[in-house]
Structures are given as structure tokens and as C-alpha cells.
Structure 1
Amino acid sequence: MSLPTDDLALPAAELARLDARFPLQRVAVGEGAQVAVRRCGNGPALVCLHGIGSGAASWLDAALSLADVADVIAWDAPGYGESTPLPMDAPKATDYAQRLRALLDALGIGRCTLVGHSLGALTAAAAAQAGGALAGRIEQLVLISPARGYGAADRAEQGRRVRAERLDTLGQLGIEGSARQRSGRLVSENASELARRWVRWNMARLDEEGYRQAVELLCGDDLLGYLPPAAPVRVACGTLDVVTPPADCAVVAAACGVALAPIDGAGHASYVEQPQAVAALLRDGLT
């Protein structure tokens, strides 16, 4: 497959495959808001939440690998793609979780396996906690390369630095420049050029308002505060992840009372880089 010369573009055949096999739907969730999702397959619901620099389309190949056993639904988080932003400037994970519940209610989904990657793990954990937005509706929670966040008191100073650095980079380089600068860290040296293209393309399509809200979530909330969840849980991480390294993810796994599952040879965006391996991990837990 020939690749386009624009480093932020995808081959036309990839875009056509995305739209044909993992089509976009716009779901009204009340109060004039909507959530954009991509969906394919048949079976029990498997709901996938992306990280701060990605979007629903990033789950394409993992979703296609699971379409024979699951109804795979990947959202564009509030403020991403065509999803309406949340009304507050500095939302917490519980605010995203409430929007997620509204989405599942609108789709008529009573129970699901919930998968959160990176910053999506914060929303997933908030939804799955005792008394959370989806408590009692989650068959299994899967956290892949979970981002802990910087909302705990002992991480507040680091959070201020991360917020300033990310927003300064956004102001200086814009969304596309940020994508060029940051996307390389999301995959390992083993990643194919096409996987790298997918990561850059997703990141270059971010909306500034949604990204700013997500930065506030990252810097103002704490994953460990939502753990352990009120559902069976697995925690996984790419062995070559330099964004949320295995040692950090092991802390999250310990807070859940489980062992960390390695995704061998994968970087942070493991489900883009090694979609079949991640699909195998998720397939094992489907009921």
C-alpha cells in the first residue's frame, strides 16, 4: 500500500475501510448534546474509550478482530470529533462517566464490558466504581495503559507542570504541530509505518476545546481514587510503553488487586500497534 506524502494523512483506502466497516453514528443524548460513535459486530456490548490524543477511529482494527463475538462501540469522547463538549471548563472523570451513561441509555445497552485506554481509563474507572454512573451494568472493566492523572495531593505540582507544558505546546504549535511532536511516543520502535500514520492522523484531528477539557481531566483527577471498581477488572500494558510505563501500570493493577497483564513488544497505543493481541486479550473476557 502506498502512503500519502502528507505525514498527517491516511491512504484513501484506509479511510474508505474505516467508513465502510466501522461507520460513524451520531447519537442524541439529551439537552441538545450528541455523542459520535463507531460501531460494528454482533454479540455482547464491548464499549471502548480512547485516550487524550486519539478518537473512536483508532479502534478500527481491534474492533474488526472482535466483530464476530461482540457489538463493539467506540466513542469520540466529549469534545472530540462530532461529540458535544461537556459544559464545564475543568470536568472530572465523573462528568465524562455521566455522558457515557447517557450514551448507553440512548443506545439501549443495559450491560457491557467497558474498556478504557490511557486517559479513557479514568472515565471507565469512575463509571465502574461503587455508586458510579454505570455501577451494576459492567460485566468486566479492562484498563489498558491507564493514565493515573495528577489530581492527588502528592502529584499536584507535577500536574501544574504537565498542564502548562501541554497548553504551551498547543499554543505554540497548534493541534497539527502537537501531533507531529507527540505522536511518536505512542508507539514502539516495532510499529509499522501505517500504525504510526493512524496515530498521527487521529491526533491531528483533535478539537482544541475538547483537548483542553481533557488536559484538565488529566491534571485534575486521580484514577486511584476510583479504585478498586465494583466489577471484575483486568489491567494491561504494553511492555515497551514509555507514556504509562509498566511500573506505573503495576501500581494501578495492585490498587485493583490483580496482576498486570503484559502486551509483549507494544508501546502505549497497543491496540493500534498490535490490534490482534489486544483483541485476544478482550476476547478472553467476553461473556
Structure 2
Amino acid sequence: MNNLTFKLILLLGTSAIAQNKLFVPPLPEMSYVSVVDKSKFVGDRWSFMESGAKDAPVIIAMHGYGGSSADWRYQLHDLSDTYRVIAWNAPGYMLSDELKTDYPTCKDYADALADFCNALKLDKVHLLGNSFGSRVSQCFAYHYPERVIKMAFVGPSAGKKNISYEERERYVNMRYDQIKDGAFAFTNKRVEALLAPNTSPELIEIARQGMRGVSPRMFMRGTNFMMAEDHFPEKIATKATMPTLVIAGTEDKVSPITTNAEPISKAFPNVKLEILKGIGHLPHLEAYQQVNKMVREFFGANAKAKSNQKAFTDYEKNVYRQIDSLIQYQEQLVLKQDTLAMRAFYPDDMVITNPFGQMINKETTIARVKSGIIKYSKFEKIIEHFAMEGSKTAIVAGLEKVTPTPDANRADAGKPHERRFTEIWVYRDGRWQRLIRHASNI
């Protein structure tokens, strides 16, 4: 059952390039960290830019094919009030060392991003990817789904299957022609094709600056990855069940909506599609204010640092991760109305006080799913507070966003609303179980 939340918005606002004076925030200094698994890299160095508080929720921003961390200057500047924004340089880009393999696969890039996160001691992150960076995000979500909170793609790119020899040859030759004269010449030929018509010279130059760090060798190796048939949307969607935002421009000629944003949106089970009118392949530059607003709202309240919450121990962090994953799993059970899995997931002595003041148990909950009372097109739980009492009891509180389906057997069918929840989880029989829940409408 596909629980696609599909929203198509044609935004009439112009991009930053149409403003009388282009705002150009400064970039942070380049930072470096050592590669963890040195067996897979030519060298031992990652390079990246970052901004924001060290203890804030993390967004990993991943540039496009031929880009760099400098592409994310508007996100590094604007989103860092709430998030720790880390813009990586992919292997072989800027001063990040290359992968050893000449034919990198989806798993190679997923492992590379895992190495980058491990080097920075990051566990669960939000992903923000453009083009090639969106493909790396998809690969990471497929091979390491437990480490991804939410994803957002701008100017997204979708993998393919059943690629003909002729198409493969044409694509590789096209990429070689782009890069054969070197990185500086590459940007002069390439950059304007990425942007919408009538883009200002100032924004073109900003985009060009971000592309001058490309490595011709890794650029061609990346071509092999882009032609690999191991990361098409239908395959990625089997494991990438986390909430995903897709932002695409009507003027994107590099990754047209019909062959990229739409296949991703149709395949992924928990996705929201936004279409920007008059925007090209780089929405995060061309329409940065709109994109930042969408990303901020989509990543949401769970991404705001809580200054009043004490620091967690390593054990508490581990418990939090387990319960957060279980909550995401439970969201999918509810959306799919999988009562068989619910019966195995919920403990027999579970007690719920629902938003209508009724106290119900496990059997009543499952019966209400079967009767169509608990039937949602959207069901999202956001943890805003976590605490532990001893080693086997955890308390979770937060926000829920729900939309009953139009045919749900209830008075508020089809009407979105929010509610607060508090849950008590206990560790017994070798696993964490949700024992008590209270919810109230806002």
C-alpha cells in the first residue's frame, strides 16, 4: 500500500536572481577530518564546511555532480540558527580524497557517507541533496536507513534500470566532453545549463565558483555510478521509508521532472513533492528563501535543539535511537493498517487514553483499525522530549500530525489536525515496548 502524500504547488515567487541586489552570505572556512576506513580511499582526508551549534540537529548537505560544499552557502547561512549544517565534499571533490575504485556503486557512496558521518561522530542525520547528492542520499537511505531521520532533495536525480548500450555510451561521451579540458573550462561550459533562463550574471558566477573544485578523474568515476543500475527509485523505496521532501523546478533541463522527481515521488512510500515554477536545476541557489522555508518546515519541530533538556549518557542516546526507530516503524504500521504486525508489536497489557478521553487496550485498538476508525493518510510523530527513569523505563513526549483518510469511519475524516502525546516505554522480554500512551488534540 503506497501512502504517498503528494502535494503539487506551483509557486509564482521569483528566485533570488530576480532581486535588485543579490544577497551573498560569506562561506565558513573549510574544515577537515580524517577518513575512518582508509582501505577504500586513495588518501585519508575529508573536507567540508559547517555552521551552527555543535549540539544542534544535523543536516548533511550534499552537492551535485561537479559541485562542492560552496553550493550550500545560503543554507549554511540561514539554517544554522536551528541546525548544524554540514556541507560535505564528496570523494574526489575539493580537498576530499578519492575513492580507490574506478567503478563506484550505490553501496560505495553509501559507505563513503557512512565513513564521513563516523569521522564526525554523527549517528542519525537529516539529508539534503542536490542532483548527484540526492542519489548519494538515496543510497545511504537504502543501505543505512536507521541513520536517516528525514531527507530533502532539490533538483533531484533518479537512477535507472535497463539502460541500453547506446544510452550508456552517449552519456559517458557527453560527460567526457564536458570535463576533458579541465575543471576551470568545465565550469565555463556547464554552469548556465543548470540554471533557469534569464538568470543574473551574479548568480551564475556564484554557481560557477562552487564547481571549480571538481576533479576530472572523480567526475568520470562518478559517471560510472550514475550509469549503475543498482539504485533506481522502486528499489530504493523498499527501504527508504523515512519522510522525504522532493523539490523540483519546471525549468530543470538536467533532471527533468518527468524522469526524476515524479518517479521518486511515485515510488517512495512517504514523500511530499513541491514544484517551483521558473526554477532550474539548482533551487537551493535560485530560490533559496523558498527552499530554506520548505526544508525548515519539513524537518520540523523535532529538529530544534532543546536547551532545557539535560545531556544524555551513551546508554540513553542508544535507547533514544531505538525508540525513535520503533516509533517510525509504528507510523508505517498505522498507515498500512497492518493489524497482524500490530498484534506482534503492541504488548498485551498496553493502555491508551485517546484524544477523546477514552481508555482503550490492545484489542480495542486493533479492532478500531479493522473497522476504519484508525485510518490515516498521514501519521507523523515528532519526539520533543525524552527522559529515562532507571535503565528500563523511558518517557517520550511530542507532537503528532495526523490526517484521517476521507473514507475513515469518524467525524473528522479527511481533516488534518495536530495533537500532543506522552508515552511510557519499558524494556522487557529483550525489547522496548510501548506500555502507556496519552494523547490530546491541540
Cα RMSD of the aligned pairs, angstroms, is: 2.0
Question: Residues 219-246 of structure 1, C-alpha deviation per residue, up to 9 Å, x if partnerless?
Answer: 2244323224132212121122111122
Q: Mapping of 1:98-137 within 5 angstroms? A: 98-129=111-142, 132=143, 134-137=144-147
2:284 pairs with 1:271: yes
Question: Residues 206-229 of structure 1, C-alpha deviation per residue, up to 9 Å, x if partnerless?
Answer: 111221111111122443232241
Question: Residues 27-56 of structure 1, C-alpha deviation per residue, up to 9 Å, x if partnerless?
Answer: 102225221110001321011111102101
2:262 pairs with 1:250: yes
2:168 pairs with 1:159: yes
- Aligned-partner residue type, residue 230 of structure 1: T
Q: Structure 1, unaligned stretches of length 5 or more?
A: 1-12
2:193 pairs with 1:182: no
Q: Matched residue of 1:153: which SS? A: coil
Q: Structure 2, unaligned stretches of length 5 or more?
A: 1-22, 303-442
Between structures 1 and 2, the one with greater helix share: 1
CA distance 1:51–1:156, shift in 2 (3 Å): farther
Question: Residues 177-212 of structure 1, C-alpha deviation per residue, up to 9 Å, x if partnerless?
Answer: 222121111111253322100111222321112211
Q: Tell me which residue corresponds to 2:204.
A: 196
Count matched residues: 266
CA distance 1:101–1:67, shift in 2 (3 Å): same
Q: Tell me which residue corresponds to 2:310.
A: none
**Which segment is superposed worse, 235-244 or 85-94?**
235-244
User: Equivalents in 2 of 1:97, 1:35: separation in Å?
Assistant: 15
Q: CA deviation at 1:87?
A: 0.8
2:252 pairs with 1:234: no
User: Equivalents in 1 of 2:286, 2:268: separation in Å?
Assistant: 26
Between structures 1 and 2, the one with greater strand share: 2
Q: Tell me which residue corresponds to 2:30.
A: 24
Q: Tell me which residue corresponds to 2:331.
A: none
User: Equivalents in 2 of 1:93, 1:33: separation in Å?
Assistant: 21
User: Equivalents in 1 of 2:133, 2:153: separation in Å?
Assistant: 8
- Aligned-partner residue type, residue 23 of structure 1: E
Q: Matched residue of 1:285: which SS? A: helix
2:86 pairs with 1:73: yes
Higher relative contact order (CA 8 A, sep 6+): 1
Question: Residues 48-84 of structure 1, C-alpha deviation per residue, up to 9 Å, x if partnerless?
Answer: 1111021011101122110111100010000001101
Q: CA deviation at 1:285?
A: 2.3
Q: Tell me which residue corresponds to 1:209.
A: 217
Q: Mapping of 1:10-21 within 5 angstroms? A: 17-18=26-27
- Aligned-partner residue type, residue 126 of structure 2: T
Contact 2:91 2:97 in 1 (8 A): yes
User: Equivalents in 1 of 2:94, 2:163: separation in Å?
Assistant: 34
Tell me the TM-score normalised to structure 2 length.
0.57
